Structure 1
């Protein structure tokens, strides 16, 4: 159960379903979004069954229960899915219920505390994509008696033939991939570009892939402060080869992050990464091996890294090779699916 809007968790759900189907399972995605959400079409193109449920709350919950009855395993991928399912959970005792927390936010309001206090009686296993997320959740909500594990996200690896080599043209193309929301803090990337000397700005391109409520503020900042730099807002793009072959360096500027699918995918496409030192970013990005790390909101340090990347294009190529090998070794989708399969099979239901 997941929305099919724009985000790494949503892409992961689709990839996981593809892998599960290859292993003989029959996954179905239940989405609480809209029929025209971008990733609904992606899932349908892959012949993954998608049921979109919308309407009045009571009717939605009835349809959810009808959908849940079709499957012995219910895997929820968002707190909102858990909250909406609360009245149904007592009727799902014969089903295995797994809850994956893809982020590391504390969910510390009274509302979320009540949701998780009730839900813990019916959820059999909770999974996290980072140790930080696991620690924060248990510190805030308890759940000491619920099976808990950390399962790294994994990705479907692109083939070598689908990876475009870096152009050696004296320019640096930087990509930002993800929702344009305050949590992702993309404004710090633009602030770093503003700190560059004007002659350096002219050699830098920034490509944003994604949509969200911060689109207008980011566009306004660009118009006011970055006349010398080329900044392109591509909107929602589903083709990952078009995204990652568009730049040489991925910039991840988030305030919090789990195990970023965007970072994994960039590494798989032999792209170096510069990322804020939060959540799972420090697990994926190894300093001076496949990229760089900087303190959250330190635009000055980010600007310095950008200048280094522009001056040393060969280093970007070396980082890219090392990054792809690491993803192959440690973050394959097959490995992730096998770990979830173990969660599905190892523990009984909440009866």
Structure 2
């Protein structure tokens, strides 16, 4: 590796739509720049992805690589070839990069799996089997994700580590206190896809008595193929509640100051950026018992946990939260303190810097 270029890092993502991993990459670039490094972002998404403007507004260079098969790999190689460190943040990016990985032997290739999905089909097994010899280090955001990946793919000889995601902390003055008006506003932040299973949140609200439903609002931030299903359910079953679909929103203060309780209903999760960001904004959390959710959410401290797809339990928790507004405040304060102590972006960057500097183990 050319030492004169050792400060340069390219983070490669499948898109810059509004999502936890994408927001994390932008925040990580900011922290790396503050530590004297020279990060940029390569995206395989579209030129009008909403987070491109956010990244460029922060002074982060973004290169969008698109094209037909073959051409996209050539353009990707042109983006890779002058970078000593390539940090891939998506299995889809890894798949597209396969033909040019043999040309990257003089570069440090780091692969971070932000989710815990098995990706165990023959196609994905072949992708990871081929990529194994060219990846110097693989990182995970949860121990569950690490275990699942290695059970499926092996990779015993590749350097493997778990690095908790960190977040950029909002200032105290940017956090709006709870209104204390006898209502409960619940937020859902993320892609509206089947894996996130947001329908169980609406099903839980529908189980509440009508007088309780009238005091509950649900605020969705994000888009996805499940949105029509969620909208239809709201219209048919939640006439007594307020359900708002805000669409894509890149301003985190506008997201997390809009509700008092974050609901995460996913079937699988790594270390949820939405949970950490909600905690940073002093918001309590209710989350399914999957992946890293149980690491972030501690019952009787900063939130509640429930079994995946258990709408009955979720409904009971919502009633508790509505009846005990002071608990939401206490959980919110405890959550922010925990993020400050354990999930700082600086700590995350320091761990990645060690990965970048270690001798690679690809074979």
Post-superposition offset of 1:25? 1.0
Does 2:71 align with 1:59?
yes
1:94-148: CA deviations, max 9, x gaps?
0000000000011011000000000000000000000000000000000000000
Q: Is the 8 Å Cα contact of residues 272 and 290 (structure 1) preserved in structure 2? A: yes
Which residue does 1:260 correspond to in 2?
A: 272
Q: Secondary structure at the match of 1:165?
A: coil
Which residue does 2:3 correspond to in 1?
A: none
1:76-107: CA deviations, max 9, x gaps?
00001111111101110000000000000110
1:255-290: CA deviations, max 9, x gaps?
000000000000000000000000000000001100
* CA distance in 2 between partners of 1:4 and 1:126 (Å): 22
Structure 1 residues not aligned, in runs of 5+:
none
Structure-to-structure mapping, 1:71-150, within 5 angstroms: 71-150=83-162
Which residue does 2:216 correspond to in 1?
A: 204
Q: Secondary structure at the match of 2:176?
A: coil
Which residue does 1:232 correspond to in 2?
A: 244
Q: 1:171 aligns with which of 165, 183, 193?
A: 183
Which residue does 1:244 correspond to in 2?
A: 256
Q: Is the 8 Å Cα contact of residues 290 and 323 (structure 1) preserved in structure 2? A: yes
Consecutive aligned runs of 4 or more in structure 1 exceeding 3 Å deviation:
348-351
Q: Is the 8 Å Cα contact of residues 156 and 333 (structure 1) preserved in structure 2? A: yes
Q: Is the 8 Å Cα contact of residues 158 and 361 (structure 2) preserved in structure 1? A: no
Q: Is the 8 Å Cα contact of residues 96 and 349 (structure 1) preserved in structure 2? A: no
Does 2:338 align with 1:336?
no
Structure-to-structure mapping, 1:182-201, within 5 angstroms: 182-201=194-213
* CA distance in 1 between partners of 2:291 and 2:28 (Å): 22
Which residue does 2:8 correspond to in 1?
A: none
Alignment coverage as a number of residue pairs = 351
Q: 1:32 aligns with which of 28, 31, 44?
A: 44
Post-superposition offset of 1:24? 1.0
- RMSD between aligned residues: 0.8
1:193-245: CA deviations, max 9, x gaps?
00000000000000000000011010000000000000000000000000000
Q: 1:69 aligns with which of 72, 78, 81?
A: 81
Q: Is the 8 Å Cα contact of residues 183 and 255 (structure 1) preserved in structure 2? A: yes
> TM-score of the superposition, structure 2-length normalised?
0.96
Q: Is the 8 Å Cα contact of residues 256 and 281 (structure 2) preserved in structure 1? A: yes
* CA distance in 2 between partners of 1:244 and 1:70 (Å): 39
Moved more, 52-61 or 321-330: 52-61
Does 2:67 align with 1:50?
no
> TM-score of the superposition, structure 1-length normalised?
0.99
1:161-184: CA deviations, max 9, x gaps?
000000110000000000011100
* CA distance in 2 between partners of 1:64 and 1:262 (Å): 30
Q: Is the 8 Å Cα contact of residues 202 and 228 (structure 1) preserved in structure 2? A: yes
Q: 2:320 aligns with which of 308, 318, 321?
A: 308
1:12-63: CA deviations, max 9, x gaps?
0111111111111111100000000111111111110000011111111011
Q: 2:21 aligns with which of 9, 21, 26?
A: 9
* CA distance in 1 between partners of 2:68 and 2:273 (Å): 33
